[in-house]
Each structure stands twice: as C-alpha cells, then as structure tokens.
C-alpha cells in the first residue's frame, strides 16, 4: 500500500438551487460546494460557477440569462449566488460547475462536477 495516500477521506456535497426571492419577478439562484466530513475541514482551493438559463417553452433552445462565480482558498465552503429580475415567465434552469483541489496526498487530488436543477416553470 502507498503510505503517501491519506487513510482518512473527505466527503463533499455539491448542489444548485432556484427559488423566488422573495417573489416574482426576482429569481434567486445559487450553486455551492461544502465539505461535510470532516466537519469544517478546509481544502486548498474551491470554485463554483452558477448559470441561469431560460426557455419560453421547453422545445426552444436555452438562453443564458445570468452568471455568477466564486473562488476561495483554504475554505470548507464556496457559494455563488445572485438575484435576477426576470422580465417574463417561462422555464428556468440552474447549472453549477464545481471544482477544487484536495490537500496534498489525497487521492483523487482534485474534483470537478456539474449539478443542475432541471427545468422549472416560473412566472407571474
């Protein structure tokens, strides 16, 4: 067994969310990553991008309406969130891109994942 590989592990949660904030036409969207075990275990680098997509009907191609991103060093959580004032109702979708580096000696040494909310109808 390779002794340079850490025996403990890190458990991470990645998620994207969309909701009314506090009511129409304001849409709050967020994508985040958090180290949930060991609790508050910091890692060298974390980053997340959050994309808000729109379609007036499901058969139409998606249109990017808003974007936000966040990076941090030596942290246990990163969150990219924003409030968007929608001009019209329709189908909305959030996609998150999450990536970062684990501490030296961990296998795998880094992570890269995508989350999404699926298409949700929101409107007046």
Contact of 18 with 29, CB cutoff 8 Å: yes
The answer to whether residue 5 is domain-embedded is no
Split at pLDDT 50, 70, 90, the class of 2 is very low
The answer to whether residue 18 is domain-embedded is yes
- Between residues 105 and 46, the one the model is more confident about: 46
pLDDT digits (tens, 9 = 90+) for 7-64: 467 889 999 999 887 788 999 999 999 999 888 899 999 999 999 999 999 999 999 9
What is the domain count for the chain? 1
Place of tokens 């958090």: 34
The answer to whether residue 47 is domain-embedded is yes
Within 8 A by CB and 6+ apart from 95, the residues are 16, 31, 50, 51, 53, 114, 115, 116
Query: What is residue 104's three-state secondary structure?
Result: coil
The answer to whether residue 3 is domain-embedded is no
Give me the pLDDT at residue 1, please.
43
Split at pLDDT 50, 70, 90, the class of 4 is low
The answer to whether residue 97 is domain-embedded is yes
**What is the average pLDDT value for the chain, to the nearest integer?**
91
The answer to whether residue 78 is domain-embedded is yes
Give me the pLDDT at residue 5, please.
47
The answer to whether residue 6 is domain-embedded is no
The answer to whether residue 107 is domain-embedded is yes
Output the domain CATH number for residue 81: 2.60.40
**Residue-number span of the structural domain to which 32 is assigned:** 11-122
Contact of 36 with 42, CB cutoff 8 Å: no
């Amino acid at each position: 067994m390779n002794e340079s590989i850490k025996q403990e592990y890190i458990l991470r949660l990645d998620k994207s969310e969309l909701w009314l904030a506090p009511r129409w036409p304001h849409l709050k969207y967020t994508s985040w990553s958090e180290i949930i075990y060991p609790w508050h275990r910091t890692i060298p680098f974390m980053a997340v991008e959050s994309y808000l997509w729109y379609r007036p009907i499901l058969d139409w191609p998606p249109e990017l309406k808003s974007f936000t991103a966040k990076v941090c060093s030596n942290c246990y959580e990163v969150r990219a969130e924003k409030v968007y004032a929608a001009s019209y109702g329709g189908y909305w979708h959030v996609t998150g891109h999450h990536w970062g580096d684990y501490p030296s000696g961990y296998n795998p040494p880094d992570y890269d994942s995508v989350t999404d909310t699926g298409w949700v109808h929101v409107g007046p």
